Amino acid sequence: MATVELTFSALPAHVRTARLVATAIARRTGVEESLLDEVRLAVGEACSRAVEAHRLHCPGEPVRIELRDDSGRFEVTVTDVAPSDELEGTTTLPTITSEPLGAMADPFESGFGIAVIVGLADDVEVYASPKGMRIRMSWPAAAKGVTPA
Amino acid sequence: MDLKLDHRTEDSLTIVEVEGEIDVYTAPRLRELLIDLVNKGNFHLLVNMEKVDFLDSTGLGVLVGGLKRVRAHDGSLELVCTQERILKIFRITGLTKVFGIYASVEEAKEAHGRDK
């Protein structure tokens, strides 16, 4: 198992860096080229949500992202430590319905980003707790991925 | 790539040219431009996304916010986009039903002319 871990200050400018790193590792792991845009967008959404949560609640704490190449899957876990009112456990994943325009809430408050992730990754788990949220998502990785020496 | 923004007015339509990445870092600049244009009385906006490399939900939120603002003045905010990877996020979020999405600026201008 190869793992890359990255922690970054909760600044919007660093989200792009996290996207670039995740896409590079996904390519190296053997994720199909046609899925790389989905990886880039889903990781960006998860990191954006975490950065916004940290900026509101704990701007000094870094956001953590782990990238794993494990048993034929490329797995990404984004963890924030922003306190919330969420009860501990796996949350019900949101879906987007066609709401009237006037009913659309703020994208972050409404879980818009998480709904986008659910639409992009074929395997997503959102684990919420009062101490923060963990979003784990994965994509199939082809056997041609580079294995550690 | 950073975000480049430009705009011009043709007849009653204000065309906003967007180039680069629209994400949590750059989206505030697009939001400011859209707010500024509306505050200056430009209520019919066409956002050309053909040179956009990346768009996330923050960017979508800015476009939805812009649409709400222009609709408050009986205006319109429509998009030019043919890139599959950008269109995909509009489809996932159901926003293809909310925005008019055209294949070219010319096509959008023609449609706008017919609707006037």
ipTM of the complex: 0.87
CATH of the domain at B27: 3.30.750.24
Q: Is the pLDDT of residue A14 over 50?
A: yes
Q: Note whether A107 contacts B57, CB cutoff 8 Å.
A: yes
Is B46 within the bounds of a domain? yes
Is B29 within the bounds of a domain? yes
Is B68 within the bounds of a domain? yes
Is B113 within the bounds of a domain? no
Measured between CA atoms, how close is A13 to chain B, in angstroms? 5
Nearest Cα to A4, choosing from A17, A16, A19, A22? A22
What distance in Å separates the CA atoms of residue A68 and residue A110, rounded to the nearest whole number? 29
Q: Which tokens belong to B72? A: 């408050």
Q: Note whether B25 contacts A40, CB cutoff 8 Å.
A: no
Q: Note whether B94 contacts A37, CB cutoff 8 Å.
A: no
DSSP A81-105: ----SPPSEEPPPP------GGG--
Q: Note whether A112 contacts B97, CB cutoff 8 Å.
A: no
Residue type (1 letter), B12 = S
In chain A, what percentage of residues exceed pLDDT 70? 77
Topology annotation, domain A2-140: Heat Shock Protein 90 (3.30.565)
Residue B113 at interface with chain A, using a CB cutoff of 8 Å = no
Q: Note whether B94 contacts A15, CB cutoff 8 Å.
A: no
Measured between CA atoms, how close is A107 to chain B, in angstroms? 6
Give the neighbor-by-neighbor strand order of the sheet with A123-129.
Answer: A2-8, A63-70, A73-79, A132-140, A123-129, A89-90
- What is the pLDDT, as a whole number, of residue A146? 57
Number of domains in chain B: 1
Q: Strands B13-22 and B44-55, how do they pair?
A: parallel
Owning domain of residue B64: 4-106
In chain A, what are the domain boundaries?
A: 2-140
Is B93:B64 a contact under the CB 8 Å cutoff? Answer: no
Residue A44 at interface with chain B, using a CB cutoff of 8 Å = yes
What distance in Å separates the CA atoms of residue A64 and residue A34, rounded to the nearest whole number? 26
Chain A residues with CB under 8 Å of B89 CB are: 41, 116
What distance in Å separates the CA atoms of residue B82 and residue B102, rounded to the nearest whole number? 8
Choose the weakest-confidence range: A2-11, A75-84, A89-98: A89-98
Is B36 within the bounds of a domain? yes
- What is the pLDDT, as a whole number, of residue A102? 47
Q: Is the pLDDT of residue B33 over 50?
A: yes
Res. A96 pLDDT band, cuts 50 70 90: low
Res. A109 pLDDT band, cuts 50 70 90: very low
